[in-house]
Structure 1
């Protein structure tokens, strides 16, 4: 059996090609893809700058589809179900996996990211059955692709130990910053500000009724008020990391989620003397992913602003070219397949 896939043929070059279906074995499932979102990491990775995407690769790790086949009889109940795919494949045998930290498994692989593990910019993908979360059919396939970034935001909030009474600053108003804002609402913390320099992104953020401001206004906001007890850096460069310290209170927790820059200078005096805590946050546990799929089914209207554009696989190469040009204003773009 052959099926169509969007292939990164060379850096910044895509083509729709036919691929052969691998043998279904182990505890895996064959999923017919309905929709896959284009992550910011796909856009940056496509030019080779991150070292995390490769020529001849099928990317795509934020997907919704229907289970067509399973290889293990115990998983037969999944056949015909609409699911979202947790792209993080862990060994489930090591010490970390056994204590519920499978998201930092030392041998983890990511569908559509790890070399040799093709992703969901395709009509079909094979994934471990345990990585599938059934999602309400009231959630459209395009909106269902938000489960992955929403899980990233939720895990960051869990890492922060966010509680009612915390005052929050979110630096970076892209999809992950928005996902963190939605996670704040999810745990009952509504006192947050999103710092975002791009006016068009602030327009998208306003659809949630979240407060967003350019970074230049932060000094005025916190001039005569208590500074944030928790700061989420959803960018991860020298400017955003500096703002995290400049606008956080003493004893604050700073959660580094963004990965724009591989190395950052730490202002050690502001960490030690003011007892700030720096925490890293990467993906999510399997439970957080599945809980988020359930949560989305109950909060469809709240999350609907997340998706800005929908395209087809045939037009996806053109869409990636628009990303690289840098003039396209978007929030989240989804490649939709015919059901």
Structure 2
């Protein structure tokens, strides 16, 4: 089968590789769609911290946002899974440690991360091996485009849930990328007033088209009382700004990761009685994202600007936008195109 492989910083190729064979407790999925995200771009550039921490090494097969159809099953897996449309968890815990047994497999010290950590191959390929325990079945109402948006949606949903918004609360999202816009959509569906802060007018105009109540550059952001702030950016200065902007007694949620250390003055947290929450992984939010997509209360599909084949992934990771693509931030890949 064909798989996209990053062989070193800014070096890549599409390889012919042996198709996966499902081991005990595993299935093989024929990948229908896979998303390209910021983590993939960091591996492509060589800046991803896992490379220096020896959690990952080249060559690496990327892709952790995906959906597809189960084509074969391994020992101990029911044949009924064959033909089922699925997506799945990125975080594969060891299943034995205290964290895994407590339902926190996504922070297991010995976890694999599909397409990211520990050498588990990713979904920028025609087929993908996955433990059956990581699978989530997709209803017919969730098509392939939405199915490959479940993983970023689970992250965004967790961020909104951590913000603990009441109806009519006012939320500020920092960063109009995929996670920030999905968080805005989930928050709008809950009845919140949603504002977004970003850098470029085209991205802010796109956010306005999704129904947010305000989309602002930093110099134009009104000094409104924000009941929660979600930092979905990678800017090192915004974590501290989030604490400055949130109302006393309210919540700041951090889901973006800056390329270098970002400082937050804990004295401000204490004196404002602010709760700060960090979010890693979609794992506890996957089922909720599927439910909201299936019900139609949140539609992630407008965020997808284009669908490309494996041969075009390298250019996308290098920062190019496909010809004729839409204004959304997300590029999807059809590995069989």
* 8 Å CA contact retained: 2:20, 2:128: no
Task: State the Cα distance separating 1:74 from its structure 2 match.
Answer: 4.1
In structure 1, the partner of 2:195 is 193
Deviates more, 1:267-276 or 1:235-244: 235-244
Distance apart, 1:254 and its partner CA = 1.1
Deviation, 1:209, is 1.3
Unaligned runs of 5+ residues in structure 1 are none
Answer whether contact 2:208 2:215 (CA < 8 A) is retained. yes
Q: Give matches, 1:99-138, under 5 Å.
A: 99-138=102-141
Q: Does 1:320 align with 2:320?
A: no
Following TM superposition, by how much is the alpha carbon of 1:30 offset from its aligned partner in structure 2, in angstroms? 0.4
Aligned partner of 2:153 in structure 1 is 150
Shift of 1:73: 4.5
C-alpha deviation, 1:96, in angstroms: 2.2
| Per-residue CA distance 1:214-237 (angstroms, 9 max, x = gap) | 11112xx22xx4x11211111143
With structure 2 as the length reference, what TM-score do the two structures score? 0.90
Are the structure 2 counterparts of residues 102 and 261 from structure 1 closer, same or farther at C-alpha, using a change threshold of 3 Å?
A: same
Contact 2:111-2:118 at 8 Å conserved across structures: no
* 1:119-145 CA-partner distances (Å, limit 9, x unpaired): 010001101111111112343312311
Instruction: Note the C-alpha offset of 1:103.
Output: 2.1
Could you tell me how far apart the structure 2 residues matched to 1:147 and 1:207 are? Answer: 21
Structure 1's 318 and 238: CA in aligned 2 closer, same or farther, altered over 3 A? closer
Matches for 1:237-256 after TM superposition, within 5 Å: 237-256=235-254
- Partners of 1:292 and 1:283 lie apart in 2 by 13
> Is the aligned partner of 1:87 residue 2:90?
yes
Q: Whole-Å Cα distance in 2 between the matches of residues 239 and 216 of structure 1?
A: 15
How far residue 69 of structure 1 moved from its aligned partner, in angstroms, is: 0.7
Deviations 1:228-251, CA, capped at 9 Å, x for gaps: 121111114332123212321112
- Summarize the alignment of residues 41-52 of structure 1 with structure 2, pairs less than 5 Å apart: 41-52=39-50
Whether the aligned pair in 1 keeps the contact of 2:237 and 2:262 (CA below 8 Å) is no
Q: Cα distance 1:158–1:94, how it changes in 2: closer, same or farther (>3 A)?
A: farther
What is the match of residue 54 of structure 2? none
In structure 1, C-alpha distance between the alignment counterparts of 2:311 and 2:235, rounded to whole Å: 34
Q: Deviations for 1:297-327, whole angstroms, at most 9, x for unmatched residues?
A: 2228732211011111122223333449xxx
User: CA–CA distance in 2 between the matches of 1:21 and 1:320?
Assistant: 24
Q: Per the alignment, in what secondary structure is the counterpart of residue 290 of structure 2?
A: helix
Q: Equivalent residues in 2 for 1:1-339 (5 A)?
A: 3-52=1-50, 54-186=57-189, 188-210=190-212, 211-218=214-221, 221-222=222-223, 225=224, 227-286=225-284, 288-299=285-296, 302-323=299-320, 331-338=329-336
Kindly tell me the number of residue pairs found equivalent between the two proteins. 328
Deviation by residue 1:182-219 (Cα, 9 ceiling, x = unmatched): 22134x2321211111122113222311131111112x
Are the structure 2 counterparts of residues 107 and 270 from structure 1 closer, same or farther at C-alpha, using a change threshold of 3 Å?
A: same
Deviations 1:85-120 (A, max 9, x none): 211111233222223222222322210001411101
Gapped regions of structure 2 (runs ≥ 5) = 52-56
Q: Give the TM-score normalised by structure 1.
A: 0.89
Contact 1:37 1:142 in 2 (8 A): no
Task: Provide the secondary structure at the position in 2 that maps to 1:133.
Answer: strand
Deviation of residue 80 (structure 1)? 0.2
> 3-state SS of the aligned residue for 2:78?
helix
